[in-house]
């Protein structure tokens, strides 16, 4: 969804903002002819822009296409579920929360937001809430009459909780000593869960939006799924930066994250515009109603999938298991403590390639 840029994992941007502001506002006192004058340092070379400055500018720029996306996705002609629209709008709360959190981290801790876990996790939690609202909004239209028995849901919940508890006990009680100690700026398990769940939720939303094309009879909804890919990769960049404990050598990842956030917000805006063109709200509503009343169509979309509660359980279980490994399991390996840009990019490009391949295959089969 981390992530995701200010859509996934955007709190890293505060590192860039604070550094850039320090460089621009830095001043020195110069005595000239017996008088003191303040000389403010400015860029002397307009073509020399640091990575920090470029990243902060791109993050700021990405807000404009996202606002345009909100305008397009909220149009009546788009016929986006109201709760999903509210979810996309709620992302602005996440963006607003990261700014004071980043400032407080700098003032109170003299550090970046990513290294102050309670502030970092608190700000990122708004992103998780955003993605959950979006997921539930689209899923409510898709589920229709598909209702699973509550006892099956409880059984799956109990099984998932048991597996997670067992893994936690093994990790905490294992006599095997990790190769490395936990760094002071390591993300807590809870903060990792927030990050990982945002990424998984975003993938689930992409899948639901793809199915919405069949539900509405408007194939242009699939374009929105494609437009969401850069934002998922942006979130992967943020999580990879945290995986290597925010190593300064990997600062270019944050600039890439900012660039993909800007690109992703733009592609989502373009996709949302295409959805609404040449189609009225009444036509979309009739298509949805027709597909829900058609038994074969409803079965293809609804009965073959899972309901919202099951999706949330799966997301939660996967997030907890992955976060336990990222927090504890990685201490048994050397690679998080030996960061290199090529290695870090492998953690970003391989999942992105798998994500793209999935939608290519689904496009060919549909």
pLDDT confidence of residue 75: 93
Q: How many domains does the chain have?
A: 1
Separation of alpha carbons 317 and 320, rounded Å = 5
Residue 330 lies in a domain: yes
**Beta-bridge partner residues of 3:** 8
Q: What H or E segment, with its residue span, contains residue 79?
A: none
Q: What pLDDT, in 10s, does the model give residues 42-73? A: 333 444 556 667 877 888 899 999 999 999 99
Residue 1 lies in a domain: no
DSSP, res 2: -
Contacts of 67 (CB under 8 A, 6+ apart): none
If you average pLDDT over residues 272-293, what whole number do you get? 64
CB count within 10 Å of CB 308 equals 19
What is the rounded (10 degree) CA torsion for 216, 217, 218, 224?
60
Q: SS3 of 3, please?
A: strand
Token pair recorded at residue 108: 């109170």
Contacts of 346 (CB under 8 A, 6+ apart): none
Residue 43 lies in a domain: yes
pLDDT confidence of residue 286: 55
Q: What pLDDT, in 10s, does the model give residues 60-112? A: 899 999 999 999 999 998 999 999 999 999 999 999 998 899 889 989 999 88
Q: Is the pLDDT of residue 324 over 50?
A: yes
Residue 350 lies in a domain: yes
Separation of alpha carbons 134 and 156, rounded Å = 24
Residue 64 lies in a domain: yes
Q: What pLDDT, in 10s, does the model give residues 157-204? A: 555 555 555 555 555 555 567 778 999 999 999 999 999 999 999 999
Separation of alpha carbons 121 and 194, rounded Å = 7
Q: Is the pLDDT of residue 139 over 50?
A: yes
What are the residue ranges of helices labelled H in the chain? 13-25, 51-61, 63-73, 82-109, 117-143, 150-173, 189-216, 221-243, 251-276, 281-293, 295-298, 308-327, 341-365
Which range marks the domain in which residue 184 is found?
Answer: 10-365
Residue 4 lies in a domain: no
Q: SS3 of 86, please?
A: helix
122 closest CA partner among 184, 193, 191, 198 = 191
Q: Would you place residue 281 in the very low, low, confident or very high pLDDT band (cuts 50, 70, 90)? A: low
Asked if 271 and 224 touch (Cβ cutoff 8 Å), the reply is yes
Asked if 257 and 9 touch (Cβ cutoff 8 Å), the reply is yes
Residue 145 lies in a domain: yes
What is the rounded (10 degree) CA torsion for 248, 253, 258, 264?
-160
Residue 2 lies in a domain: no
């Amino acid at each position: 969804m981390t992530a995701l840029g200010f859509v996934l994992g955007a709190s890293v941007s505060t590192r860039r903002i604070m550094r850039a502001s320090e460089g621009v506002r830095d001043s020195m006192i110069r005595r000239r002819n017996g008088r003191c004058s303040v000389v403010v340092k400015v860029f002397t070379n307009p073509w020399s822009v640091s990575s920090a400055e470029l990243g902060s500018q791109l993050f700021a720029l990405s807000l404009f296409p996202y606002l345009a996306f909100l305008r397009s996705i909220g149009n009546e002609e788009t016929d986006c579920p109201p709760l999903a629209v509210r979810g996309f709008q709620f992302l602005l709360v996440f963006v607003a929360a990261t700014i004071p959190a980043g400032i407080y981290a700098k003032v109170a801790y003299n550090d970046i937001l990513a290294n102050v876990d309670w502030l970092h996790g608190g700000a990122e939690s708004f992103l998780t809430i955003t993605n959950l609202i979006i997921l539930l909004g689209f899923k409510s239209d898709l589920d229709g009459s598909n209702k699973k028995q509550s006892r099956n849901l409880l059984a799956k919940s109990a099984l998932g909780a048991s597996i997670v508890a067992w893994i936690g006990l093994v990790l905490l009680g294992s006599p095997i000593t990790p190769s490395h100690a936990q760094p002071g700026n390591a993300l807590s398990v809870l903060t990792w869960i927030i990050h990982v769940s945002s990424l998984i939720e975003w993938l689930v939303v992409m899948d639901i939006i793809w199915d919405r094309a069949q539900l509405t009879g408007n194939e242009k909804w699939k374009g929105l799924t494609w437009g969401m890919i850069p934002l998922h990769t942006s979130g992967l960049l943020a999580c990879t930066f945290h995986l290597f404990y925010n190593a300064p050598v990997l600062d270019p990842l944050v600039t890439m994250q900012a660039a993909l956030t800007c690109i992703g917000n733009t592609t989502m805006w373009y996709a949302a515009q295409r959805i609404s063109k040449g189609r009225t709200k009444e036509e979309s509503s009739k298509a949805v109603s027709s597909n829900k009343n058609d038994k074969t169509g409803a079965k293809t979309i609804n009965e073959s999938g899972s309901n919202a509660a099951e999706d949330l359980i799966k997301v939660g279980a996967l997030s907890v298991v992955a976060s336990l490994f990222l927090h504890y399991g990685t201490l048994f390996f050397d690679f998080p403590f030996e960061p290199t840009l090529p290695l870090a990019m492998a953690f970003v490009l391989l999942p992105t390639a798998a994500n793209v391949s999935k939608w290519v295959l689904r496009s060919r089969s549909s």
